[in-house]
């Protein structure tokens, strides 16, 4: 991973880390994530930052056993797509395989890879 | 408008060839295709070439010219990259070039070298077909992404790991006798079920292998085929492409593949056929769940019914609609950039009657190839038909 920041993405993670998580909402109510200049769903250019809901619901999940070099020491770990209403997020669920299930309520937070120490989006079961 | 005819096809062995460069793999497949077509390299007007991860595995970009020179062809050459649909989109462009009168003779194909990297590095390379910021950095892998789709499918429509195992068993059975296939051996449902987990609910035998290989097709105009008295009885009568959001989290429903549905609808309309006219198909089964999504997108089964159809044997070689008579990506192998045109090469042989499984579909006249990129953010579908 380079030390150069990725504008938009790293700003979004910073905000989440300091308890001010947000998503982008367009004039038509579609959600998306930065960096964005237009809504990917309808091309609206009116994007505003809205507070990310505090809890989301696991929509689908998997336990990854064969990982990339950046996550080899983390494996096995649970990855999920979590529904926050206007947006969905993808990240690691901080739970054992046996405790991870669709419908689980979680809160987002910034964690780090056990392998590299890099920041990543995690989900804490409520 | 002239139809593009398949004048010849060529394939290397798909398998574990870590020492072979992609340029040499492509040379073997391309020269075999030119020989099969009885076409002189001097007649080739363009080369369209698919490759996905050359920069990562071989430290080599700009592979188009290398592909052309490996065949002794002096013509413009372009590399196409749409992840696992790289040679599928290359083929689509070649078909359009023939139809538009831009070229009478093209070589289109692809190659991939993967096994010179270890499994972890290959997993890392394949992951770049997903969204780097919002998927890969969260630890998502390519099998992991399809596992998320499988889990969502089971939740919405039902189905079990055992149902998916039937797809792997079928494709291994189909690969027996295919000299180009990576795995020319049968497996059982029990072996598939007992294989180690990769990304739950997907296990090792749900996944295609890591493969080195190349494929090529010689496409010609009807006029060129006639003037040169070529045996080119198979035409590509339909082409279609669809797209979707890159990241699963931005899709409307992660248990479906609408990009492939769009591609199929376009290709069928282009060819003037319907799903009901299709006799045989080669689909992109990078994971067993992907074959289910593909057969539904192609309109063979209703959404949510593909897994039952697979379990009930509808897609076996003795079934109503044989799928992946080659062995599919699962058993034939998946050298990413070569897969799209390898499907067309296999289908051409099935329809010509010189495929190892042609005997199961002696009257087949319409074939469909379905090639997907990433988690089907890209999809290409082609219709092949026997012409008199």
B120 has a chain A CB within 8 A of its CB: yes
Whether the pLDDT of residue A2 is over 90: the answer is no
CA–CA distance, B121 with B126 (Å, rounded to integer): 9
Residue B319: the pLDDT is 98
Mean pLDDT by 10 residues, chain B (388 residues): 94 98 98 98 98 98 98 98 98 98 98 95 93 96 97 98 98 98 98 98 98 98 98 98 98 97 98 98 98 98 97 97 98 98 98 98 98 98 95
CB contact under 8 A, A72 and B120: yes
Q: Which residues of B touch A66 (CB under 8 A)?
A: 119, 123, 141, 143, 198-199
Please state, in angstroms and rounded to a whole number, the distance separating the CA atoms of residues B371 and B38: 27
Two tokens at B241? 């492409």
pLDDT tens by residue, A20-39: 999 999 999 999 999 999 99
A112 touches chain B (CB under 8 A): no
The predicted structure's pLDDT at residue A3: 80
Q: Give the minimum alpha-carbon distance from A92 to chain B in angstroms, rounded to a whole number.
A: 6
Per-residue confidence (pLDDT) for residue B221, from 0 to 100: 98
CA B176 from centre of chain: 19
Cα–Cα distance for residue pair B29/B123, rounded to 1 Å = 26
Helix then strand count (H, E) for chain A reads 1, 8
Q: Calculate how close chain A gets to B157, using CA atoms only, in Å.
A: 13
Instruction: Using a CB–CB cutoff of 8 Å, tell me whether B124 touches chain A.
Output: yes
Taking the CA atoms of chain B, what radius of gyration do you get in angstroms?
19
Cα separation, B245 vs A39, in Å, equals: 12
Residue among B10, B2, B65 nearest B34 (CA): B10
Query: In chain B, at which residue ranges do the beta strands (DSSP E only) sit?
Result: 4-11, 46-50, 77-80, 105-112, 197-199, 202-203, 213-221, 234-243, 280-282, 366-373, 378-386
pLDDT at B388: 73
Structure tokens at B383: 């219709």
pLDDT digits (tens, 9 = 90+) for B282-334: 999 999 999 999 999 999 999 999 999 999 999 999 999 999 999 999 999 99
Distances (CA, A) of A111 to A14, A53, A73, A105, A118: 12, 18, 15, 18, 8
Confidence (pLDDT) at B4: 98
A40 vs B150, B198, B250: nearest CB? B250
Query: pTM of the predicted model, to two decimals?
Result: 0.97
The chain A residue lying nearest B153, using CA atoms, is A60
In chain A, which residues have their Cβ closer than 8 Å to the Cβ of B248? Answer: 81, 90
B248 touches chain A (CB under 8 A): yes
Neighbours of B274 (CB within 10 A): 11
B134, B139, B151: best mutation site toward chain A, by most A Cβ within 10 Å? B139
Catalytic residues of B, by residue number, are: 84, 334
| Residue B66 parent element (H or E) | helix B63-70
Q: Are B325 and B343 in contact (CB under 8 A)?
A: no
B374: left (phi over 0), alpha (psi -120 to 50) or beta: left
The SS3 call for residue A44 is coil
Distance of residue A62 Cα from the nearest chain B Cα, in angstroms? 5
Residues of chain A with Cβ-Cβ distance to B123 below 8 Å are 66-68
DSSP B336: G
What the block records as the tokens of B375 is: 């988690």
Bridge partner list, B379:
B242, B372
């Amino acid at each position: 991973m380079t030390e150069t920041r990725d504008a938009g993405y790293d700003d979004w993670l910073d905000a989440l880390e300091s308890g001010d998580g947000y998503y982008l909402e367009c004039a038509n109510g579609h959600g998306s994530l930065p960096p964005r200049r237009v809504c990917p769903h309808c091309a609206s250019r009116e994007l505003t930052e809205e507070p990310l809901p505090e809890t989301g619901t696991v929509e689908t999940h998997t336990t990854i056993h064969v990982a990339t070099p950046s996550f080899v020491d983390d494996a096995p770990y649970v990855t999920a797509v979590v529904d926050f209403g206007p947006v969905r997020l993808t990240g690691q669920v901080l739970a054992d395989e046996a405790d991870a299930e669709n419908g689980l309520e979680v809160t987002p937070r910034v964690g780090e890879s056990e392998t590299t120490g890099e920041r990543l989006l995690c989900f804490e079961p409520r | 408008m002239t139809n593009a005819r398949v004048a010849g096809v060529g394939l290397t062995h798909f398998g574990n060839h870590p020492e072979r460069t992609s340029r040499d793999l492509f040379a073997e497949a391309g020269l075999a295709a030119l020989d099969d077509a009885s076409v002189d390299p001097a007649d080739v007007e363009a080369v369209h070439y698919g490759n996905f991860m050359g920069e990562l595995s071989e430290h080599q970009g700009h592979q188009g010219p290398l592909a052309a020179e490996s065949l002794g062809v002096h013509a413009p050459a372009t590399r196409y990259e749409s992840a696992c649909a790289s040679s599928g989109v290359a083929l689509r462009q070649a078909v359009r070039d023939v139809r538009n009168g831009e070229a009478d003779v093209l070589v289109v194909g692809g190659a991939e070298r993967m096994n010179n990297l270890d499994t972890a590095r290959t997993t890392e390379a394949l992951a770049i077909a997903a969204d780097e910021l919002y998927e890969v950095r969260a630890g998502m892998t390519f099998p992991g992404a399809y596992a998320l789709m499988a889990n969502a499918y089971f939740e919405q429509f039902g189905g079990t790991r055992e149902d998916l195992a039937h797809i792997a068993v079928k494709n291994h059975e189909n690969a027996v006798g295919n000299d180009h296939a990576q795995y020319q051996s049968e497996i059982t449902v029990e072996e598939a079920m007992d294989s180690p987990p990769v990304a739950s609910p997907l296990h090792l035998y749900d996944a295609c292998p890591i493969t080195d290989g190349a494929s090529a097709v010689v496409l010609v105009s009807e006029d060129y085929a006639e003037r040169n008295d070529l045996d080119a009885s198979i035409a590509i009568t339909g082409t279609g492409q669809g797209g979707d959001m890159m990241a699963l989290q931005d899709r409307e429903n992660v248990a479906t593949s609408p990009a492939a549905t769009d591609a199929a609808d376009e290709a069928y309309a282009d060819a003037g056929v319907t799903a009901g006219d299709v006799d045989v198909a080669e689909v992109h089964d990078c994971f067993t769940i992907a074959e289910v999504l593909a057969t539904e997108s192609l309109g063979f089964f209703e959404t949510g019914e593909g897994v039952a159809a697979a379990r009930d044997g509808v897609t076996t070689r003795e079934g109503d609609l044989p799928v992946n008579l080659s062995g599919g990506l699962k058993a034939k192998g998946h050298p990413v950039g070569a897969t799209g045109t390898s499907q067309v090469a296999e289908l051409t042989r099935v329809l010509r009657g010189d495929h190892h499984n042609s005997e199961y579909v002696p009257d087949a006249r319409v074939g469909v190839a379905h090639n997907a990129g990433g988690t089907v953010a890209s999809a290409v579908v082609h219709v092949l038909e026997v012409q008199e």
